[in-house]
Chains A and B, each alone.
Chain A
Amino acid sequence: MSRPISESRSETAFGDFKLPLAPGEAVAEAERCLFCHDAPCIAACPTAIDIPQFIRKIATGNLHGSARTIFESNILGMSCARVCPVEVLCVGDCVYNHLDQPPIAIGRLQRHATDEAFAQGWTYFSAGPDSGRRVALIGGGPASLAAAHRLRRCGHACTIFEARPSLGGLNTTGVAPYKMRADRAADEIDWVLAIGGIEVRTGVRVGEAVSLSDLERDFDAVFVGVGLGADSPLGIPGEDLENVCGATAWIEQMKIGRVDLAGVERAVVVGGGNTAIDCVREALGLGIPRVIMAYRGDRARMSGYAHEWDAALAEGALAEWRAIPIAYEGSGRVRKVRCIRLDEARRPIAGSEFELEADLVLVAIGQSKLAAMLAGLEGIQVEGGRVAVDAEGFAGRTKWYAGGDCVNGGKEVVNAVAEGDRAAKAIDAMLRGAAKGSPHA
């Protein structure tokens, strides 16, 4: 597939924040695992990887089997090992947290096994016998990739429609480069597609070149994994000034191309979520000396993870709490952000205006929702911009399933994989019999 990833892209300035384990280190860490019964780490993993089992296999030198255990539950296990917020998932629930010993470094162990699988070129899965059924997948991010891979194992033909020039979604263009760089994500996509039988149609926007009714007519099932849309603006004066950027757009540019930081000495990041913290750490890592996060709430209320903000602080981040921009100022290019303080109820406090000098503003207050594109399909509910689905990812209309950010509103890669996988299993059940959503029921 095409790889529009520049060799001289800005993200290559970053090394790994969490270093890979050396082989002996991995075995020593694996030996520490207690092999818990009904392990809490598995319950904490959205894809329910059998973590104690894959760790035990590392301890015995069975890396091939270890990686198989991971991929069996999570086909994007290589990137999830790097990008998962393990501190609030598997590692956060390791029983060692209740003892006076550090929790098992599950993410780094998973990386150890899956990196070896990639380095050795191990493959585990082949397509099932051709079922004669065809599934369309709208969007080419982690949810659709996971769904397509599972569907191919079941023998169903897949076609992914991706509006952008390449697959991968935010896993390629949005992950903080000190966790994973874009080329690694692209390698993984090639590895997933190697199962064969997944037709990829990039540059095709469903609703334009192909209509929803075309898909419904031509395919036996449709999986919607469109993710989220463009960065949301605050809607304040000065948003058209140069260097006022939407966060995910800027991150994408940094990851697959170059961002021009000439003359940028001060950056302001607007928001308090994980994308905002990523921007702060990325701006600092690219050498911007002074980076301030302006957030409308206080630290206790920010949606960004505490461990991420702690890392940002250690790297030199500054913060303005309970502050919100009311205007960007400058001539041609942004120079200042005018802000106002908010009270406990997030109401502006009269007379509390202040200015932050800024040569770059990154706005990370959320992304637009794309689910509205489905609004015309009877039976599909869109609630708060999200596609409503049942526990199996069925969207309420015959043939239609959904998963990933367009369903969960914007979570982790691992959530998208889990939702894509569960929908694929439901689609397979439907295509094989008279299950829910079946046109043959």
Chain B
Amino acid sequence: MPDLSTDTGGIRSPNPFWLASAPPTNSGGQVQRAFEAGWGGVVWKTLGTPIRNVSSRFGGHVIGGVRGAGFNNIELITDRPLEANYREIAETKRLFPDRAMVVSLMFETREEWREHIARSIDAGADGLELNFGCPHGMCERGMGSAVGQEPAVNERITSWAVEFSTVPVLVKLTPNVSDIVPHGLAARRGGAHGVSLINTIKSLIGVDIDRFVPEPRVGGASTNGGYCGAAVKPIALHMVAALAREPEFGLPISGIGGVTNWRDAVEFILLGSSSVQVCTEVMLRGFDIVEDMIDGLDEYMRTHGFARISEMVGKAVPNFREWGELDLNYETVAKIDADKCIGCQVCVAACHDGAHQCIHPQEGTRVPRVDETECVGCNLCKIVCPVEDCISMAPVEHGVAPASWNEFVADPETHPLRPKKGSHG
């Protein structure tokens, strides 16, 4: 039976599924119910100097009828008394000693950091997460992403936290930067034991087109919020992988961003995450989704022969390359399984209007024909096809040895490229 327990920079949990620092971890009652449901850890909603919140706070991005496929919020850190938070953290840790209790913190002065790191550890924190990511509200006051976007400030505050802390320190990174790597390296220089990413993406979730006011609406106005939910996963995966493959980085990662189920979690783990954090899907469906996450991961590990999470971590990282390293001579063409095709010809429209004009209707049948002499193997038809496994991308044997752009540019004689296709020339 696979062992789902994991270690993220010294923070251990019985499974890799943590709740991210967010509304679901706002109180002891919530976190205790989450632990009863099976969550392996939580990052408690960020503690800081008391704030006030607005109404409303959340916006949903409906995509193809899926509510909350994307999501954003303009809520700030905890608005509950710090004493109540510390009391409930202590009570919850006492009730669930085997779960990871990470406390998220966001303060301004060195003295504040010192005091609240001590109080968090006193309350039972197994680790700390420094909120350098919040892209709304707090950043206007010089905290959150305002810290995360400045590597020097990031490094300085991280070094304070590491100095004051007796438990592991994770730095939560903002994606609102052009390149995540310098920010991860700053956290490393500051002495962090790991990083969490991504925090939310600066966003406007939508506009009320009758009132002419962006969402979520606060009276007659709105502000930029943090985008999250299933739709952000590709951005998060890239940033996680970018750090995971950086040779100078080398810290454990807690992956965040659009994790909705065990499949997403596996992807984050394969790209270098030791644990994953979930918020939006829990906000939309509740804590009980973790049952399938645990089940699904267990079954995945069983069928793929993984005994421990650590065996999976980063398994796909070596295959995440620069474009210039990809094999330009690898060629595929689309194959349509006529027995499975239902004749919708969605692929015809997609190929003609959106790709390379190589899928054509045929007389006497609804099954389209692929012109393999023009098909560039772009994958669009396979993406739009509503039938499982009807369109496959079949490798073409042409006898030309693999060659990347970098190799070709360096030495075209030794690394020739196959003939070009799809230019209709």
Residues of A within 8 A of B (CB): 27-28, 31, 34-40, 59, 95-96, 98-99
Q: How far is B65's CA from A31's CA once the two chains are assembled, in angstroms?
A: 7
Please judge, given known A-B contacts A40-B366, A99-B387, whether A34 and B344 are in contact too, CB under 8 Å: yes
Judge if B64 is at the interface, Cβ distance under 8 Å: yes
B342 pairs with A27, CB closer than 8 A: no
Nearest-neighbour CB distance to chain A for B392, whole angstroms, equals 17
Interface size on B, residues (CB 8 A): 13
Q: How far is B67's CA from A27's CA once the two chains are assembled, in angstroms?
A: 13
Q: Which residues from B are CB-within-8-Å of A34? A: 344, 346, 386
A38 pairs with B345, CB closer than 8 A: yes
Judge if B343 is at the interface, Cβ distance under 8 Å: yes
* Given A34-B386, A36-B343, A37-B344, 5 additional A-B pairs, CB 8 A: A37-B346, A37-B349, A37-B361, A38-B345, A40-B366
Pick from A28, A31, A38, A99: contact of B386, CB below 8 A.
A99
Pick from A35, A37, A96: contact of B342, CB below 8 A.
A96
Nearest-neighbour CB distance to chain B for A25, whole angstroms, equals 12
Q: Which residues from A are CB-within-8-Å of B64? A: 31
Judge if B348 is at the interface, Cβ distance under 8 Å: yes
Residues of B within 8 A of A (CB): 64-65, 342-346, 348-349, 361, 366, 386-387
Q: How far is B64's CA from A36's CA once the two chains are assembled, in angstroms?
A: 16
Q: Which residues from A are CB-within-8-Å of B65? A: 27-28, 31, 59
Q: Which residues from B are CB-within-8-Å of A98? A: 342-343
Q: How far is B64's CA from A27's CA once the two chains are assembled, in angstroms?
A: 10
Nearest-neighbour CB distance to chain A for B354, whole angstroms, equals 12
Q: Which residues from B are CB-within-8-Å of A35? A: 346, 349
Q: How far is B366's CA from A39's CA once the two chains are assembled, in angstroms?
A: 10
Nearest-neighbour CB distance to chain B for A91, whole angstroms, equals 14
Q: Which residues from A are CB-within-8-Å of B342? A: 95-96, 98-99
Name, among B64, B361, B386, the residue most crowded by chain A CB atoms within 10 Å (CB to CB). Answer: B386
Nearest-neighbour CB distance to chain B for A30, whole angstroms, equals 9
Chosen A-B contacts, 19 in total, with CB atoms closer than 8 Å, are A27-B65, A31-B64, A34-B346, A35-B349, A36-B343, A36-B344, A36-B345, A37-B344, A37-B346, A37-B348, A37-B361, A38-B348, A38-B361, A39-B344, A40-B366, A59-B65, A95-B342, A98-B342, A99-B386
Q: Which residues from B are CB-within-8-Å of A40? A: 343, 366
Q: How far is B342's CA from A98's CA once the two chains are assembled, in angstroms?
A: 5
Closest chain B residue to A101 by CB distance?
B386
Closest chain B residue to A27 by CB distance?
B65
Q: How far is B386's CA from A150's CA once the two chains are assembled, in angstroms?
A: 38
Pick from B344, B348, B361: contact of A95, CB below 8 A.
B344
Closest chain B residue to A32 by CB distance?
B65
Nearest-neighbour CB distance to chain B for A105, whole angstroms, equals 15
Q: How far is B386's CA from A31's CA once the two chains are assembled, in angstroms?
A: 13
Query: Closest 9 CB pairs between A and B?
Result: A37-B345, A98-B342, A37-B349, A31-B65, A95-B342, A36-B344, A95-B344, A37-B348, A34-B344
Q: Which residues from A are CB-within-8-Å of B344? A: 34, 36-37, 39, 95
Closest chain A residue to B66 by CB distance?
A31
Name, among B343, B344, B366, B386, the residue most crowded by chain A CB atoms within 10 Å (CB to CB). Answer: B344
